[in-house]
């Protein structure tokens, strides 16, 4: 949904509380206002600077330092802070949640948050975890934009006991924000995202630091000739360090399993180069190229050269 042509006469939720108003929280605010699905939006952020910016930018009508104040009268609460903050926030807000409210999150990891938030949700409040698979390397309340979720997947991980009406409402909410919604178990989510997002970020962080620490190539050469491929890794490696620290601390098993597979495949390529096995190299590169074509066919990126970077906001996850 790129425009809210059919804004509902009555918003789906009277008050949305965003716990964390960075890239994702602010994008939810923009997209929810565009769709007209919420009445009021309030927020919570520890730093006064973020609270001030969120009110100034019109992302929230009020910004609180304490999440307990933010969830008062909220019928939808979304945790949009780093995954490592979830348990403490959930413990604090649990006793103050409105009966019938829906609580969700946007964490890039799902099994740990489902456990950590779920234990603090009282009877009569509906907790359904989620992850919009959309993002950029930018952070903070000024980084958000209404189109971030357009055409992107939002994964929800309800368990068998999830309230059907609450689940349907959350699906409608994310669709109104422009997303396509898919359901899976938290464990499967973590495995899929380990290879599609977490390991690629780790590789990007690692290659950028490897280049930075080289002795026989100067830093200025690395920057000057970065268009050779390195530059695309630096964009991913510019992502928020706290967010990514928490992702790896909370998705340890799946990331280690995928890293094991990755390392084996890398060694196979290393051997092919060492022994001059051109057929193996060419086949590997051809297979990889077809994956890129599949992503474009699924509308998850544009076919323009340079990763469609010119004239569009770069989106990743």
Among 44, 77, 128, 237, which residue sits at the site for ligand NAP (rule: CB under 6 A)? 44
The footprint of ligand NAP on this chain (CB under 6 A) covers a number of residues equal to: 29
Half-sphere exposure of 124 (CA within 13 A, CB side): 7
Query: Among residue numbers 84 through 123, which ones bind ligand NAP (CB under 6 A)?
Result: 85, 89, 106-108
User: Per DSSP, what are the bridge partners of residue 64?
Assistant: 44
Burial of 70 (0-12, 13-18, 19+ CB in 10 A): buried
Burial of 183 (0-12, 13-18, 19+ CB in 10 A): middle
Instruction: Rule CB under 6 A: say whether 243 interacts with ligand NAP.
Output: yes
> CB under 6 A: which stretch of 17-25, 163-171, 175-183, 282-290 binds ligand NAP?
17-25
Closest CB 168 distance from ligand NAP, rounded Å:
23
Closest CB 56 distance from ligand NAP, rounded Å:
14
Among 1, 16, 23, 125, which residue sits at the site for ligand NAP (rule: CB under 6 A)? 23
Helix (H, G, I), strand (E, B) or coil at 217: coil
Query: Among residue numbers 258 through 317, which ones bind ligand NAP (CB under 6 A)?
Result: 317
* Residue 229 CB neighbour total at 10 angstroms: 9
Laid out side by side, the sheet with 13-19 consists of: 62-64, 38-44, 13-19, 76-79, 102-105, 126-127
**Cβ closer to ligand NAP: 19 or 101?**
19
Instruction: Rule CB under 6 A: say whether 59 interacts with ligand NAP.
Output: no
Instruction: Rule CB under 6 A: say whether 29 interacts with ligand NAP.
Output: no
> CB under 6 A: which stretch of 81-89, 159-167, 202-210, 285-293 binds ligand NAP?
81-89
Which residues are within 8 A (CB) of 284 and not within 5 positions of it... i.e. 6 or more apart?
269, 272
Instruction: Rule CB under 6 A: say whether 132 interacts with ligand NAP.
Output: yes
Among 1, 12, 17, 21, which residue sits at the site for ligand NAP (rule: CB under 6 A)? 21
Closest CB 226 distance from ligand NAP, rounded Å:
22
> CB under 6 A: which stretch of 23-31, 186-194, 283-291, 300-308 binds ligand NAP?
23-31
Site string for ligand NAP, 158-197 (x = CB under 6 A): ----------------------------------------
Residue 42: phi, psi to the nearest 5?
Answer: -120, 165
CA angle 28, 33, 38 (to 5 degrees): 90
Provide the H-helix boundaries in 59-139.
Answer: 67-70, 86-93, 111-118
The two three-digit tokens of residue 25, written as one number:
């929280």
Among 38, 63, 78, 83, which residue sits at the site for ligand NAP (rule: CB under 6 A)? 83
CA angle 310, 180, 289 (to 5 degrees): 50
Closest CB 311 distance from ligand NAP, rounded Å:
21
Place of tokens 């510019």: 238
Closest CB 49 distance from ligand NAP, rounded Å:
7
Closest CB 139 distance from ligand NAP, rounded Å:
3
Among 50, 104, 179, 251, which residue sits at the site for ligand NAP (rule: CB under 6 A)? 50
Place of tokens 């990891």: 109
Which residues are within 8 A (CB) of 214 and not within 5 positions of it... i.e. 6 or more apart?
222
Cα(71)–Cα(17) distance, rounded to whole angstroms? 6
Q: Give the residues lining the site for ligand NAP (CB under 6 A).
A: 19-25, 44-47, 50, 80-83, 85, 89, 106-108, 131-132, 135, 139-140, 240, 243, 317
């Amino acid at each position: 949904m790129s425009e809210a042509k059919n804004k509902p006469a009555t918003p789906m939720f009277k008050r949305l509380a965003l716990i964390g108003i960075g890239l994702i929280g602010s994008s939810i605010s923009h997209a929810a206002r565009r769709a007209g699905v919420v009445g009021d939006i309030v927020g919570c952020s520890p730093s006064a600077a973020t609270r001030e910016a969120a009110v100034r930018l019109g992302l929230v009508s009020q910004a609180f330092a304490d999440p307990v104040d933010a969830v008062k009268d909220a019928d939808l609460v979304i945790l949009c802070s780093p995954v490592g903050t979830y348990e403490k926030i959930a413990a604090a807000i649990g006793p103050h949640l409105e009966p019938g409210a829906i609580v969700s999150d946007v964490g890039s990891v799902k099994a740990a948050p489902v456990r950590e938030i779920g234990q603090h949700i009282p009877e009569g409040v509906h907790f359904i975890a989620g992850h919009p698979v959309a993002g950029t390397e930018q952070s903070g309340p000024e980084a958000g934009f209404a189109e971030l979720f357009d055409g992107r997947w939002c994964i929800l991980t309800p368990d068998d006991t999830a309230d059907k009406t609450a689940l349907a409402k959350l699906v409608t909410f994310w669709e109104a924000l422009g997303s396509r919604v898919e359901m899976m178990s938290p464990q499967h989510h973590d495995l899929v995202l380990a290879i599609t997002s977490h390991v690629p970020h780790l590789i990007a962080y690692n290659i950028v630091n490897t280049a930075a620490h080289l002795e026989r190539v100067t830093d200025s050469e690395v920057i000057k000739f970065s268009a050779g491929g390195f530059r695309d890794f630096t964009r991913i490696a510019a992502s928020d360090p706290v967010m990514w620290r928490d992702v790896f601390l909370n998705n340890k098993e799946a990331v280690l399993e995928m890293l094991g597979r990755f390392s084996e495949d890398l060694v196979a390529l290393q051997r092919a180069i060492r022994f001059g096995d051109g057929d193996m190299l060419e086949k590997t590169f051809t297979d990889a190229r077809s994956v890129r074509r599949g992503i474009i066919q699924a509308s998850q990126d544009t076919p323009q050269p340079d990763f469609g970077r010119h004239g569009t906001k770069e989106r990743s996850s």
